[in-house]
Amino acid sequence: MNRPVLHDYFRSSASYRVRIALNLKGVEYDSHPVSLIDGAQRSDAYRALNPQGFVPMLEIDGHRLTQSLSIIVYLDQLFPEPRLIPADPADGAHVRAMAMSIACDVHPLNNLRVLKYLKGTLGHDQPTVDEWYRHWICEGLGPLEAMAAPRAGAFLFGDEPTLADVCLVPQLYNARRFDVPLDLYPTLVRADAAARALPAFTAAHPDHFAPRETQP
């Protein structure tokens, strides 16, 4: 298999998830930055590869895979260890539900294109846009805390990281960027800390992929 290529953006939550999953699976890859700020995702060249014009896209084994959860499921099937989705059907459904509560319910309302539309096209000021962001994160984190707490261990489900943790860490990274209070979510905060202590999560952090001009 040729070395995979990940088309991503350093602060993209969806890209961050895939970087974590690749690291957990021990898959070495090349990173191809796609600047969402500069609009590179809308270029003819990129849309020829990915008609949606989103990141991430993973080129692997002759395939061009899109949508972060679909990519991670592919990786979990191709590289079974460590397993990110439990084999037991009920446990797997529980982990997927937690992951999807972030990836499908919270994140789409707060991604860059939505925030730019709110501020640019609809004319909202930055404090209003920031409040939108915080509102929808809290709307999602409260139910997720209740879902996770009964079956959590060191991580959101048990004592090994799963797809749910892969989605949680990027979301809490963004929550902290927007000064969202996290005191009401002790299970999530504990799982996030346990995950971020692992090398696979640390190596995927946006700071390691930031363009030089954005670095401190």
Residues 93 and 78 in one domain: no
Q: Tell me which residue range forms the domain holding 178.
A: 89-198
Residues 95 and 192 in one domain: yes
Per DSSP, what are the bridge partners of residue 31?
Answer: 6
Total count of domains within the chain? 2
Residues 68 and 166 in one domain: no
- Six token digits for residue 39: 């609009």
Give the domain CATH number at 72: 3.40.30.10
Scanning the structure block, which residue is given the tokens 């489900």?
157
Rounded to two decimals, what is the model's pTM? 0.93
Q: Rounded distance, CA 63 to CA 160, Å?
A: 29
Tens-place pLDDT, residues 39-52: 889 898 899 999 99
Residue 1: band (very low, low, confident or very high) from pLDDT cuts 50, 70, 90: low
Tens-place pLDDT, residues 15-72: 999 999 999 999 999 999 998 888 889 898 899 999 999 999 999 999 999 999 999 9
- Six token digits for residue 48: 């020829």
